[in-house]
Amino acid sequence: MFVLFTTDLKYARSWWANNLGVLLIGRAQAAYRVMARSEATDYNKVKKEILCCLNINPENYQQTFHMKKKKEEKSLRILLQQLPDLLEKWLKPQKVSKVELCNQILLEQFLTDLKENTQPWVRCHRLKSSTEALCLAEDFDSAQTDNYREKAPRSSTPQVGRENEQKET
């Protein structure tokens, strides 16, 4: 709404960020106020910070899309109205190619199928491709395996050999 209003009035983009601050309330205003003065004059940085603070991002829409719906949201008509909206906000099909769309879906499925301990660690890096996710998951699993080996108890003499020695005497 702000962008439409300022564009229609032909305000310069440099004016936007400086005057947006007085219109903000709540968490958006708090996010704006903690920004450095040099960043608070850049509309794109202000917008990005506010959207992040309000948790308005594709990852949040993706989680909401996959999440179990509350009872009041399970009306068939309401559910069918909400799902396409969430899907569009998550995948943004109007802004990406078919290949990018397929890669997003492939990445999501790959992340879903990862081991329980690997999945959160890989997800927190917010990767853009399944290839990046694969490398990170392999590194994480390798580190976990190495860590497990280091903590495993070691004995100086194998027990199997001692049992055989005692049987021979």
Rounded distance between C-alpha atoms, residue 14 and residue 4, angstroms: 15
pLDDT of residue 135: 92
Rounded distance between C-alpha atoms, residue 144 and residue 125, angstroms: 17
- Residue-averaged pLDDT of the chain: 80
Q: Which residues contact 33 (CB under 8 A, 6 or more apart)?
A: 21
Residue the block writes with tokens 């960020």: 17
In this predicted model, what pLDDT tens digit does every residue of 29-46 receive, in sequence order? Answer: 898 889 898 888 888 899
| pLDDT over 70 (residue 98) | yes
Rounded distance between C-alpha atoms, residue 140 and residue 115, angstroms: 11
Q: Find, among 42, 49, 50, the residue nearest to 13 by Cα.
A: 42
Rounded distance between C-alpha atoms, residue 78 and residue 75, angstroms: 5
| pLDDT over 60 (residue 123) | yes
As a whole number, mean pLDDT of residues 146-155 equals 66
Domains along the sequence of the chain with CATH: 2-53 (no CATH), 58-151 (1.10.4020.10)
User: 152 falls in which pLDDT band (50, 70, 90)?
Assistant: low
In this predicted model, what pLDDT tens digit does every residue of 65-78 receive, in sequence order? Answer: 877 766 666 677 87
Rounded distance between C-alpha atoms, residue 72 and residue 33, angstroms: 37
pTM of the entire predicted model? 0.51
User: 125 falls in which pLDDT band (50, 70, 90)?
Assistant: confident
Count of H helices and E strands in the chain?
Answer: 11, 0
